[in-house]
Amino acid sequence: GIDFSPALVGIARERHPDLTFVVGDAEDPATIASVKGPFDYILVLDTIGSLDDCQKFLEQLHPLCTRETRTIIGHFSHLWQPVLRFAEWIGQRMPAPEQNVLSAADIQGLQNLANFDQVKGEQRVLMPVSLLGVGRLINRFISILPGFRFFALRHYSVCRSLLAAGEDLKSATVVIPARNERGNIEPAVQRLPQFCDDIEIIFIEGHSKDGTFEEMERVKAAYPDKDIKLMRQPGKGKADAVFTAYDVARGDVLMILDADLTMPPEQLPKFWEAIKSGKGEFINGSRLVYPLEDDAMRFLNLIANKIFSYLFSWLLNQRYTDTLCGTKVMRRSDYYRLRAGKAYFGDFDPFGDFDLIFGSSKLNLKSVDMPIRYAARAYGETQISRFRHGVMLLRMVVFAFFKIKAI
């Protein structure tokens, strides 16, 4: 921790002898240079409003950041300034120096100028006093609702250093879960572009009855120049298949390609470029931007997906135009971090889409929607029940509200 008050730093050192505290001016480059990084998190709480040069201060934080570092900026809403001044006047708040009048948009603009990228933003606290527990309930369940958020006292922004965003990614693993998809196995290999020098293909078969695994064996033998691996999933469901393959994948980047090929394999290079360039850390396919082919998606499904995309964008504080597109891309290192924290959510998602979406949100990964041209299925029948999908989405909304939003 850094603070210019020796008295406060002394108190902090007594209370937390295992932590490091520095007396100094946070805007002084020498003070920042004296701190040994990098860090997983950098907290800038109630500081940004009193700085002389916010942009310069943020620029000094880059040496303390890795790609995974998240800087969290917390500040008071300027709408509450009269209330805060009154609280100081009656002795209910420590006097503070004159503050910069900064909106959430101003903070994001300063981040952009300093080469930081906002991952997500949140507004909290409508009731700064307890009122026998009523204040906590209001802050937890009411302050996060659309319309009320504008009046919240506390604003938070989670951002990442763009100077540390790029990584030298050299290889990719394309996981293709398949059940009763015999006619799509060879086309998946034939149509997959060579978007990087080292591509591993993992077919994982899920108890098919049409000879899908035998077709996988034939295709593997027919394309000896391709690094193709075959697996049979031990359990049931797409989530089990995907994560079983992820656990043995060797690529720097992990990609899911559904075996129905409704997400054309030819579009995977766009996902590779988005993650390799550092534009995003979790690349989520979106079927709902471009016009759909005939019979690609029923009208009611389209409307429901649009509604749920708005709900999940609000719940996760990042833009999602489609949560159920099967193609999702992330770094293998981030998957390991996600897997390590999976106990927080438990086994709740048979498809795996929300395991990845919610896990990425919990890790504060930068999510980017990748528009794709969604095609009609050429072989076989859909493996999902549309009614069951709708019920599952409703369950996921409630689940995300209590596990991610209202905490």
The predicted structure's pLDDT at residue 8: 85
- Strands laid side by side in the 41-45 sheet: 41-45, 70-76, 154-161, 116-124
Band of residue 407 on the pLDDT scale cut at 50, 70, 90: confident
The answer for residues whose C-beta is within 8 angstroms of residue 347's C-beta and 6 or more apart is none
Return the amino acid letter for 155: H
Q: What is the mean pLDDT of residues 248-261?
A: 96
pLDDT of 115 over the 60 cut: yes
- The 10s digit of each residue's pLDDT in 329-356 is 999 999 999 999 988 988 878 788 899 9
CA triple 37-39-42, angle to 5 deg: 115
Band of residue 324 on the pLDDT scale cut at 50, 70, 90: confident
Among 47-51, 209-213, 271-275, which stretch is predicted with the lowest mean pLDDT? Answer: 47-51
Q: At 275, list the tokens.
A: 């993650």
The predicted structure's pLDDT at residue 378: 62
Q: How far apart are CA 57 and CA 27, in angstroms?
A: 6
What is the DSSP pairing of strand 198-205 with strand 116-124?
unpaired
For tokens 């597109």, what's the residue? 325
Q: How far apart are CA 112 and CA 55, in angstroms?
A: 9
The answer for residues whose C-beta is within 8 angstroms of residue 368's C-beta and 6 or more apart is 274, 279, 280, 282, 283, 284
**Percent of the chain clearing pLDDT 70 (strictly above):** 95
Helices (H), 63-103: 81-89
Q: What is the mean pLDDT of residues 134-143?
A: 94
Nearest to 35 by CA among 74, 63, 66: 63
Considering only residues 398 and 382, tell me which one the structure prediction assigns the higher pLDDT.
398
The predicted structure's pLDDT at residue 296: 53
Q: How far apart are CA 361 and CA 328, in angstroms?
A: 14
SS3 10: helix
pLDDT of 37 over the 70 cut: yes
Return the amino acid letter for 278: G
- The 10s digit of each residue's pLDDT in 196-213 is 999 999 999 999 999 999
Q: Which domains does the chain have, with CATH numbers?
A: 37-164 (3.40.50.150), 171-405 (3.90.550.10)
The predicted structure's pLDDT at residue 95: 81
The predicted structure's pLDDT at residue 392: 79
The predicted structure's pLDDT at residue 65: 95
The answer for residues whose C-beta is within 8 angstroms of residue 161's C-beta and 6 or more apart is 61, 62, 65, 67, 69, 71, 115, 116, 117
